[in-house]
Structure formats: structure tokens, C-alpha cells
Chains A and B, each alone.
Chain A
Amino acid sequence: MSILDSKIPEGPLADKWTKHKNDINLVNPANKRLIDVIIVGTGLAGGSAAATLAELGYNVKAFCFQDSPRRAHSIAAQGGINAAKNYQGDGDSTYRLFYDTVKGGDYRSREANVYRLAEVSTNIIDQCVAQGVPFAREYGGLLDNRSFGGVLVSRTFYAKGQTGQQLLLGAYAAMNRQIGRGKIKMYTRHEMLDVVIVDGKARGIIARNLVTGEIERHSAHAVVLGTGGYGNAFYLSTYAMGSNVTAAWKAHKRGAFFANPCYTQIHPTCIPVSGDHQSKLTLMSESLRNDGRIWVPKHKKDVEAIRNGSLKPTELAEEDRDYYLERRYPAFGNLVPRDVASRAAKERCDAGYGVNQTGEAVYLDFASAIERYGKEQAYIKGLNVDDKKVVTDLGKKVVENKYGNLFQMYEKIVDQNPYETPMMIYPAVHYTMGGLWVDYNLMTTVPGLYAIGEANFSDHGANRLGASALMQGLADGYFVLPYTIGDYLAHDIRTGPIPTDTKEFDEAEKSVKDTINRLVNNQGTKSVDHFHKRLGKIMWNKCGMARNEKELKEAIQEIAKLREEFYKDVFVPGNENEYNEELAKAGRVADFLELGELFAKDALERNESAGGHFREEYQTEGGEALRVKEYQYVSAWEYKGQPSDAVHHKESLEYENIEVKERSYK
């Protein structure tokens, strides 16, 4: 029997959440005023949780390292948010969203959590519209939808290519209302550097004021982490520069188990790396695959000609192009899930068909969409359908309306006009499905410590479907945590304020200060970025889109060695009592250097391929991921000093409402 208790309620799947809400403890409004909750991170999950808990009457203290809660990286989500509204009448339902998500996650997620997610998804849309989030609408004034990868319905709500921005600003507005009322105390430019555990319960945090460098103690009856994912372990990713694992990692060190660290999403459509100077990668929304077709040349000679500039991609004849996704996956075509699309791109590029100088790019082509839309418009307007210029101009307009900001972004970065020539894209690290292990109540293995949004592991299994991250973040923050945290806090109504002058706080503060002093006083020679880049290279080459036993073992060794070198040779300029970005970065990279090793260790342990985790040893003849039944569990790692000492726990996954079968998109 595992020590992990997922606390999944009894009863039929569809009734679990309702029943659970009826069964759990509530805190009466007068008592909520006596309870403090700390929320770290103000993205979709943290922001929505902070606003909702404050509405309910709790005293919320919210923390973010950015200068404003509005800048959390949820803002960069482009394509949309899923909800089982079935506004299009195309057969969608709660069950179907649940089914798609479990299948999309390659049967490595928890059934009950995913069903709940699908169930509350419709509330999210209602809530956001009521808050004034300007979703895209049709001419009739009703909400519009589009399709995302891995599904056969249109259930994605969107606001051009800026859905994350609009949803985050909605949550930010809800927070602002509570900040204005004094129910949320907002700490911006503050970084959480430790969780304080008192009598086995999370009772506060140690935070550093990034402007003054001051180390602060903050206490509460519960601590919620909405601190996002850890993809920046790869150095190059679509994450923000500041995104980090520190809060989650410190929680891990204080007893929270870390689940499935190796499950990383590598997004197929990102702008390729252009040189060593590159600091980050830019995503081109998955929504582009609604209309864009992905291809590489069929013949090597054309690849050569394109690379040396003697052939333009637009000049290559249709029959000389290999639309490899349409070829390999006729049912889903260009809209296969992200893991599948990414691997297929890597397969073509590894085989030598990459279309840029580095050989790591494929085309995403809108020419046929422009023609199709153009003809449609020409027909509607009664213009000549055979006039190529008229059709192209009209088609470009339609495409601009749908994806204008993405096209503009691409042009700004690459200096090529995607209306005229196909985009070049390549996969990049985008999201981490792994994270802190949580039970059905979203509580980690530390009582009173919760993890929500990307920071937890719960809903996406081994691969996340497009437009589901926003859904999960808001579901956790608006509709799940506010109920489940009450169950825990109901026992704290007589506790009174948590003092910060206790030995537990002393100890935690000392440990934080020691780490900072060690970094600041280290007389090294190399910058933090130097180590971060080297870690990223190891991660990308050995723990990236395809992994194998040999390289994972090497990665574990190399990362451990790099970590040692880091502490010996890192140089942090300035001191700890000032605004010091290098110091903040050093702390984050130190944690990535530990997480990276656990990541590789987890990937090595999982002798199967599932979703984003692809082990070369485990693939079908057609090169698809090969799941292994014995690995139908969640890996949860317990901290024991060094990543190499981490203890492995398993939560076995049961599927009672869905048949586990080969995940096929053919």
C-alpha cells in the first residue's frame, strides 16, 4: 500500500465532485476573517485563487516576483481555453472533454481529477464573460470557438492570439477588487525562498524583497503555491525569463513529493533557434495548425537547394512536398497532439530534411488556407473566384483577422513575411505536466501546503492538450481550491494568528540567509548564465524529445558534476542588500541544478514511452510511443538530501470509466 492517499471520493465518476463538495467541512463567514492564507504566484491559478479566497472572506497575502500580478507568464498563453459548452453542437460533452484529456495525456492522469476539470470547465467561461473578458464573437454576437490538437470538436474559446492575456487580466481585475477592499495584501517583487513548517503543517514562508534585499517572514494558516512550471531548466524555452522552480523545489525539500518530473511538453510550433545569443524561444500558437499545413521537401536535393538559398519554398511543386503529419495521421492530420507533432518534426529533421541552416526547422504553410478563405470570400462578395490576386488578397485578410498578431510577431523576430513565405518552426520546451504531487483536494504531502495550476501534476498526465492549461489554472483557482481548502481550514478556526518569532521561522530564515551568503560571497569566475546554459544543453540533448537509458545516466552524472562546479565557481556580483538580479538568478539556477537531476532520474526510472516522455527503447514499429502497463502509475519523489537519494513512491492509476487502449491519431 502506497503512503500516497489521493483521497478520491467514493461514488460514480460524474457525482464525485458534487458529493465531495457536500461532504467536506465549511468555515463560517465570521471565522474566515480569522484565517490567513498565503498565495505564491499570481498567474491564472494563483491570481484566481487569491481573488476567490478573498471574496469568501479569508485574509489573503499574495506574492509575486514580478512588478505586478498582471505580468505572470500565464499572460503569454496564446491560443485559447477549452470548455465543454457544446455551443457548436458538434457532439461535445463533459465526458468527451474528460475522455480527450485522459487519452491526450496518454493514460497517465488521475481520472477523478480530470473529470472534475471537465465538469467545471463550463463555469469558467461563464465566470470570465461576467468579468468582462472579451472573448472572440461571431457576427450574431455569440461566442466563437476553434479547434485544437488531439480532439474532434471545436471547444476552444479564444481572444485572438492573446487568450491568456485576457484571462489573466480578468483574474488580475478580480484581485484588484479585493486589494482595493483590503482583503488581499499584495507583495510584488517578492520571491518566496522557503516554506515554514510548524508541527508538520505549512504555516508560512520566507520571502526576499527583491528591491531592498530584505528577508521577510510571513505566516498563515495555509500556503498555496501557484508558481508555474520548471521548463526553464532547459534554459531555452517559451517560459518567461523569471519562471523558476524555486518555490516548488523548496516545498519539495520541506517534504512535498515531486511527481513525474520528466513529463515535459515540447511544443511543436515555435520559432527555431537562431544562434548562441538566444535567451528564449517564442511560441507560435497551436491554433495556427487549424489552418497551417506542416511540410518538408520530399527530396534531399530540394532540401539542399532551400538551405543554400537557390530554391524558394514557394517554388517547390506540391508533389515534391511531404506533408508528413497528413501522411502519417490521416484522421487528425495537422491537428495531432503536441507530443506527436513534435516527435514527427524531430524525426524528419533527424533524417536530414530540416529546412534552415541548422537543419532544425520545418515549414508551417498558410498558402492553401489563404486560397481557401480567399475563394470563400470572393464567392460571398460575388467577385471572380479565378482571379488569383483577388483571392489572395481576400484570403490574407481572413488569415490576418484570425492570426494577425502571431504573424506580426513572427515577422518581427525572423524578418520574413509569413503571408508570402511559409513560417519556419521547430519544437521547444513549453510546459511541464509534472509538478508537486497533490491529492484530490490539491494538497501536497505537506498538510496545509497546496499546489495549483502548472505547479501541480494532476490533470494532464504525460501530455497536455492545447488550450487545457488555462482551463486547469482557472479551474483550480476559481472552482476547486476555494472549496477544498475550507475542509482543511475548518480545523484552524480557533488557532489564532500564527506567530513568526518561533524557532521554525528562525531556522528557515537562517537557512535562506546561509544560501544567499554562500552565493554572494562565492569568489567564482563564471556567471550564473554560464551554468544555466550548460544545464540547458544537457537537458535538451539528453532529456529532451527523445531519451534513452545511456544518455539519461550520463545526464545524471553531468548535472551532479555541474552542480558541484556551480557552487565552486559561480560569481554573483553585488551584495544581498540591494536589487540584485544575478543573485535571484543564482538561487533559481541552483534549484534547477537539483531538479534537473531528479528529472533525469525519473525519466530513467520510467521504462516506457508515454506522451511527452519518449524513450527510444520503447517505441512501436511505426515509431509511436509504446506504453507499458506496469508503469501505469504516478511517480512521486521524496526528498532525502540529494536528488540521487530521492525515494520513489508510486500512486497507481485506475481507469474505471475509460478503456485504456493504444493512443492512436491515425
Chain B
Amino acid sequence: MSGILNSSIGRKFAMALSALFLMVFLVMHVSINFTSVFSEELFNNLSHFMGTNPLVQGLMQPILIFGVVFHFVMGFILEAKNRASRSVKYASNSAKDNSTWMSRNMLLTGVVVLAFLGLHMYDFWVHEMTVKYVEGDMSGLIDPNNAESGFRYYEELREKFVSPVRVGIYVVAFVLLALHLLHGFNSSFQSIGANNKYIKGLKGFSKVYSIGIPALFIFIAVYHHFTH
């Protein structure tokens, strides 16, 4: 068991586990976001719960952050090692004939998603964290000048999608996330060694998931942009 992360299989196993964890997180994230489309109140309540519940904030959030950071750092380490394993490149290489673009460009799609994540954190998370933990206001983004108006999670969300540039970036990032998932979903099962008939049955589901989840995120963004 010791040093499993020093072995090639151990590393990809860890990569897969963090990926599976992040994929579960994405489901939760999109579910909550989607409530914003039909119920401002539900969205606000859920957001407040997630933002102030000590279990979520104290335990799940650090795990999530660790998961994200781990996934990215490990991804870079693997990529560096993989590049080092071939010092002279081919003069002619026709990789398109034996593998998908997605599978070969996980780094590219991953980096774009990472960049987007930076923007995303700046947009939502940094601000919220500042309010909550720096200013100590745990009330849930209530406008201090207008306390009756209730939670402002929903408004904050709407506001972010006014700018067409931001929505554009948002759309591009999620398209790349979809590409990342289209390879990553099945890849993670393969990496943990699950390749039986049930997992093969998941192939169809993996497509639905990989396209569906990012599509929902895009839909939410576009919806708010055009209904503003």
C-alpha cells in the first residue's frame, strides 16, 4: 500500500477517484443552479443552506477544494511525466486515426476549465467568502440597506449573466468541460479497473452525463441572460 502514489497505476487511480468525486459534485451543483430557472425562493434557500451549513462549509468544502486542487496538480504531474517519456517526437504522427481528440487533449480542456474556474471563483466564491468570513456577515448576502428584500443569491446570479462576454466565456468553458467529461467519465472507470458488462452498459449514460450536465449549465446561463 505504501507509495501507491508513486506508481503509474496508483496515480491514475487517484486521478480517477478525484474525478469521480468531482463528477458527483457537478450533479449537485447543477441541480441547485437549475432551481434558479423556476424558483427564486428555492434557489435562495438552497444557496443559503449550502453557504452556511457548518458541515457543508467546514467539511465538504475543504474536501472539494482538495479534490479540485489534487485533480489539477496530479493532472499536471502526469502530463509532465508522460511528455518526458518520449524525448524525440515523430515527424509524422496520425493520432487521429487511433484515438479521439478529447482523449488526447485532456490537458487543454482541463486548463480551460481551470481558467474558467478562476473566473468563477472570482465571480461568486471570493466575494461570498469575503462577506462571510472576512466581514463576518453570515446572513446570506442580504442587502444591508434593504433587509426585507431577503437573500440576494438569485440577484447576484442574474447580474452575473448580464454581460454577453461573460456568458460567452461561460458557454465556451462548459463546451470544453463536456469534451473533458466525454473522455474522462469512461476513463475514470477504466482506471479504477471497472470494466465489466455493467460498466460497459454505462457507456450510453456517460454520453448523456457528459453532454447533459454542461448543457444544463449553459442553459441556465443563457436563460438568465435572455430573461434579464
Whether the complex brings A and B within 8 Å at their CB atoms is answered no
Report which B residues bind A (CB closer than 8 A): none
